[in-house]
Amino acid sequence: MTKLSVNINKIATLRNSRGGNNPDVIKTAIDIERFGADGITVHPRPDERHIRYADVYALKKVISTELNIEGNPKEQKFIDLVLAVKPAQVTLVPDAINQITSNHGWDTIKHGDYLKETIQLFKAHGIRTSIFVDPDIDKINGAKKTLTNRIELYTENYAKHYSTNKEQAIKAYIDAAKQASLLEIEINAGHDLSLENLNYFYKNIPNLSEVSIGHALVCDALYYGLENTVQLYKRCLK
């Protein structure tokens, strides 16, 4: 079964835009689990413009499914947070400090030694590791050498070209997933997956463990309601 982890960064962005605690990020995460999600994802950034570090500590106390923390491990504050919270999974993303959103995966060849060292640190504390990668065979092979548990395929390019040529858009992802499976690396995926393109991706990617979806799901919830939207995304994974 492919799990759905809901990224709640946009919920925090809405809260932060007015101050106070509306919407309540912690209550929303609990409700999202109750509505059927298999996990909660957060991506705290150094400026805390959406998820705050305090939110992550609070979430750890109440999450009953899996907590996935994304971020750039080159920030010591991020490493300290992950080691303190001990989520089920940490996803390493090569974001710049002021980057609006993730836009590329790791160069697992150039940064291989650094990733291996960092991954071993997290694994020593019992935290499953995943690294953000583009659907490139060389980068998948490089990921194997880092000893990561999983990779997360960066799916923006798939989503961008899905409506014009979905067969071509997904080809590199099929090849990357097959290579990852051959190397016994588990596969996650995320970025711009939506109700429009998720089911096709799910049906064509072998051994897909988890998808992480935030922006599109929150946007859909404005029209369909949060509970119904979580269920609609879950149906795409069947």
Answer whether 140's CB lies under 8 Å from 148's CB: no
- Domain extents in the chain: 3-235
Q: What percent of the chain has pLDDT over 70?
A: 97
Q: What is the DSSP string of 182-213?
A: HTT-EEEEESS--TTTHHHHHHHSTTEEEEEE
Question: CA–CA separation, 90 vs 110, rounded Å?
Answer: 21
Dump pLDDT digits (tens) for 15-31.
Answer: 999 999 999 999 999 99
Q: Is the pLDDT of residue 102 over 70?
A: no
Q: Is the pLDDT of residue 140 over 70?
A: yes
DSSP state of 225: -
Q: What is the DSSP string of 36-71?
A: T-SEEEE---TT-SSS-HHHHHHHHHH-SSEEEEEE
Tell me if the pTM is above 0.75: yes
Rounded to an integer, the average pLDDT of 90-114 is: 81
Confidence of residue 103 (pLDDT cuts 50, 70, 90): low
3-235 under CATH 3.20.20.70, yes or no: yes
Rounded to an integer, the average pLDDT of 202-221 is: 97
Question: CA–CA separation, 15 vs 133, rounded Å?
Answer: 30
Question: CA–CA separation, 107 vs 117, rounded Å?
Answer: 15
Q: Is the pLDDT of residue 87 over 60?
A: yes
- Measured CA to CA in angstroms, residue 203 lies from 39, 102, 161, 174, 225 at distances of 21, 25, 17, 10, 26
Helix (H) or strand (E) holding 178: helix 166-182
Confidence of residue 46 (pLDDT cuts 50, 70, 90): confident
- Measured CA to CA in angstroms, residue 48 lies from 44, 122, 158, 183, 238 at distances of 6, 22, 29, 36, 35
Q: Kindly list the catalytic residues.
A: 43, 70, 191
Confidence of residue 205 (pLDDT cuts 50, 70, 90): very high
